[in-house]
Amino acid sequence: MEMPEMPDMPETPGKVDKAGKPAKSAASGQREKSAQPVQDQAPAQVETAVRPEQPQSQSQGQSQSADQKFLAAVRREIDWVDEEILSLLNKRARISKRVGRLKAGSGDPVFKPTREKKLLDRLTAMNPGPLPNEHLRAIYREIMSSSRSLQRPQKIVYLGPEGTFSHLAAMEYLGHSVEYLPKANFEAVFAAVSRGEAELGVIPLENSLEGSVGQSLDLFHRHDVFIQAELFCRIRHALLSKAMRMEDVSVVYSHPQPLAQCAQWLHANLPNAALIPLESTAAAARTVVDKPGAAAVGQSRLAEMHGLSVLASGIEDAPDNWTRFCIIAASRLADGQPDKTSILFTTPDKPGALAAVLATLAEAGINMSKLESRPLKSEKWKYVFFADLECDLYAEEHKKALALLREKCHTLRLLGSYPSGPKLDLNRE
Ligand SMILES: C=C(O[C@@H]1C=C(C(=O)O)C=C[C@H]1O)C(=O)O
């Protein structure tokens, strides 16, 4: 077994001056051998460079060339900053690989969503701007994506084909440096994760307008997988087609959920079009590629992927339309301080059985943010409950409550604790 290396001492936070530049360049001393520096030293007057005043007597040509010189100086400044960033990114990557070797030695998983959330919260809290926090988070999601895959190549499964909301949500949250594998249905996503074919899977759990995705909840009952993270995505729909005008559209394809979410708009704008359900929005986009009189309802990025035009966008009937996705894995997250736990339970068949479970939670001061009953497929008119609790039910402080819950429930399965998820907008270009 490889001995874990200790982190280098110099890889500690460097001092920065008021302008945010390293007091003693952290980057210049540690440049990657392959990187060709544009300049070794910061250009004079970096960031504080002031545009020179143009004397009244200068001709237009002269002032243009002064502008050009100034622009060139500002660009040199950007080049220098990029070199610093490159060097620091590589420094971070080296440290992360070291973390990866330590994890491999201890069998620790690579993905640590509580650590990632803490890191993003810490950086956004100390961000002086003008970089907006939303940009900072997006940049860091990609940095962490690269970091995870440097530690160990990661496979993520989702309901395909490419371009489904699950795929876009996964890329938004887990970044572009991991490998994504499409699966034909939710069952295959769960199976790939529980068999260890993929490290993580992404599945939709519920929509703010249409409610729970029953199939996803049911699959938790049949597969031994755990929720490690969640995310909320704003869902907007567009009408995509090879046709250039709405008048030429006589049939609309999509998944039943988007067709339902856009029903009023479709009725008002395409009253005579036939609405045809397909297995996904991405499959609908693929279908209309060689059907000039057809359109698909889906995310506008599907237009670029399939060479379609966007005939209309924002066509969902209620604009505040969100879907909650979760990241599933074969083991539970045992790290940090997750703030939510999902459970599946059945109750004994007697009066007050469900009330006793709820009372146990209430007495332990645990807030329940969701409770849903699903038919227990093995026995008709029997139900299994899916609940979200706002606590880490595995924590020592809830040991007594957990023991009591086990007593009150007929069966109880903990589906994992995880950090409460971010709200992401899939429509960022
Ligand atoms: C670096 C680590 O591994 C992963 C990558 C992270 C990062 O790049 O900051 C953070 C958490 C993990 O998902 C870690 O566990 O600290």
Q: What was the pLDDT predicted at 35?
A: 42
The pLDDT, as a whole number, for residue 64 is: 76
CB of 116 closer than 6 A to ligand 1? yes
Query: Helix, strand or coil for residue 322?
Result: strand
Task: Provide the edge-to-edge strand list for the sheet that holds 368-375.
Answer: 368-375, 383-389, 340-346, 411-418
Higher pLDDT, 212 or 143: 143
- The response to whether residue 305 sits with its C-beta less than 6 Å from ligand 1 reads no
181 pLDDT higher than 70: yes
This prediction's pTM: 0.85
CB 159 within 8 A of CB 279: no
pLDDT for position 257: 86
Q: Is the pLDDT of residue 429 over 50?
A: no
pLDDT at 51: 65
Query: What percent of the chain is predicted at pLDDT more than 90?
Result: 75
* The pLDDT value given to residue 52: 60
Question: What is the third-level CATH fold of 154-234+323-425?
Answer: D-Maltodextrin-Binding Protein; domain 2 (3.40.190)
**Are the C-beta atoms of residues 77 and 70 closer than 8 Å to each other?**
no
Query: Which of these is catalytic: 164, 281, 323, 341?
Result: 323
> Cα separation of 54 and 47, whole Å?
20
Domain extents for the chain?
Answer: 154-234+323-425, 238-313
pLDDT exceeds 50 at position 27: no
The answer to whether 154-234+323-425 and 238-313 have equal CATH topology is yes
Q: Where is pLDDT greater, at 426 or 37?
A: 426
Q: Quick one: pLDDT at residue 319?
A: 83
Residue 211: what pLDDT? 87
According to the model, what pLDDT value does residue 335 have?
82
Q: How far is 262 from 270, CA to CA, in rounded Å?
A: 11
Distance in angstroms (rounded) separating the CA atoms of residues 147 and 374: 39
Q: Among 5-9, 157-161, 295-299, 391-395, where is mean pLDDT lowest?
A: 5-9
For the domain made up of 238-313, the CATH class stated in words is alpha beta
Please say if the pLDDT value at position 346 is more than 70. yes
How do residues 230-257 score in pLDDT, each as one tens digit? 999 999 999 999 999 999 999 999 999 8
Pocket test for ligand 1, best of 88, 95, 101, 110 (most atoms within 8 A of CB): 110
**Does the ipTM surpass 0.90?**
yes
Residue 190 a catalytic site member:
no
- Report residue 202: phi and psi, to 5°: -120, 125
